[in-house]
Structure 1
Amino acid sequence: MKLASLLSPDQIVLDMRSEEHMPAIFELVEHLIETGKLPETLREEVVASLKAREEQVSTGIGYGVAIPHAFSENLESVAAIFGRSVKGIDFEALDNSPVHFVVLFIVPKKDYHLHLQTLAAIAKMFTNCEIRRQLSEAECRTAILDILAGKASRNVA
């Protein structure tokens, strides 16, 4: 599954304010609630699930990327958001590098297989240094969506 199919322009944060990993997760969850992509009644459940996941091992996978994710028994469809940080976020990443791209998603518990497919697709996409470069240079949400959908030029200077 392509990440772009889970996102709309209002699910992209061009310049996150948070500088540490749990505040970054809270910032993105709040944005999902503000845009109506996540019911406010699920805030506590989702934050607790994401926090529990982070306590196991950081979802900062390296390459300046973090993929915080969790399950919810009370969600009917995937809720996802993409955040970019120009300054970088201390996400306690596996490679100790600051995180510039955060893909947060919450999957309905009934769709466990979708979680694995989505996680694998995101991780694979972000190992590509050209995609990361294009995302860091993108000037608007539409450009980011195009890159995530594989529509951006591979030879952009």
Structure 2
Amino acid sequence: MKLASLLTPDQIVLDMRTEEHMGAILELVDHLVEVERLSPSLREEVVESLRAREEQVSTGIGYGVAIPHAFSEKLDQVVTVFGRSAKGIDFEALDHCPVHFVVLFLVPKKDYHMHLQTLAAIAKMFTNCEIRKQLAAAECRTEILNILAGKGSRNVA
């Protein structure tokens, strides 16, 4: 499954403000609430699930990428948000480098296998240095979606 199929332009944050691990998660969850992709009534449950997951081991996988994720019995479909930080976020990543790309996703508990497939696909995509360079240089949300869809970053019809 391509990450682009889980995102719309309103689920992309071009310039994250925070420089701290849990602050980044809160910023992205609040964005999902703001754009009405996540019910405000689920915010606290989701934040606590993400916090518990991060306490196990950081989801900063290296390469300047973090993939915070959690499950919820109250979701009917996967909810995703992509955030980009030019400054970098201290995500306590495995390689100890700042994170510039955060893909946060929430999965219905019944879709555990989709979670594994999505996590693997995202991790594989972001090991590609060229994709990370294109994402860093992208000037708008549509360009980011095109890159994530495998259509390249420039002059896409």
> What's the TM-score bracket when you normalise by the shorter of the two chains?
over 0.9
After superposition, give the CA deviation of every residue in 1:101-151 in whole Å (9 maximum; x if it has no partner). 000000000000000000000000000000000000000000000000000
User: Cα distance 1:32–1:153, how it changes in 2: closer, same or farther (>3 A)?
Assistant: closer
Q: Percent identity, aligned pairs only?
A: 80
Q: Is the 8 A contact 2:134 2:153 kept in 1?
A: no
CA offset at residue 84 of structure 1? 0.1
- For the residues of structure 1 that align with 2:96 and 2:53, how far apart are their CA atoms? 18
- After superposition, residues 8-157 of structure 1 pair within 5 angstroms as 8-152=8-152
CA distance in 2, matches of 1:109, 1:40: 19
**Counterparts of 1:114 and 1:10, CA distance in 2:** 22
Describe the superposition over 1:16-69 as per-residue Cα deviations: whole angstroms up to 9, x where unpaired. Answer: 001001000000000000001011110011000000000000000000000000
- Cα distance in 1 between the residues matched to 2:43 and 2:76: 15
**Compared CA separation, residues 140 and 153, structure 1 to 2 (3 A):** closer
Q: Provide the rounded CA distance (Å) in 2 between the counterparts of 1:39 and 1:118.
A: 22
| Distance across 1 between alignment mates of 2:38 and 2:72 | 11
- How many residue pairs are counted as aligned between the two chains? 154
What's the TM-score once normalised by structure 1's chain length?
0.97
1:116 partner letter:
L
Shift of 1:153: 5.5
Secondary structure in 1 matching 2:121 = helix
Which aligned segments of 4 or more residues in structure 1 are displaced greater than 4 angstroms?
A: none
Using structure 2 for the length normalisation, give the TM-score.
0.97
SS of corresponding position for 2:22: helix
Paired letter, 1:132: R
Q: Which amino acid is the alignment partner of residue 108 of structure 1?
A: P
Root-mean-square deviation (CA, aligned residues, Å) is: 0.9
Structure 2: unaligned runs, 5 residues or longer: none
Give the letter for the 2:2 counterpart. Answer: K
Unaligned stretches of 5+ in structure 1? Answer: none
SS at 1:10 equivalent: helix
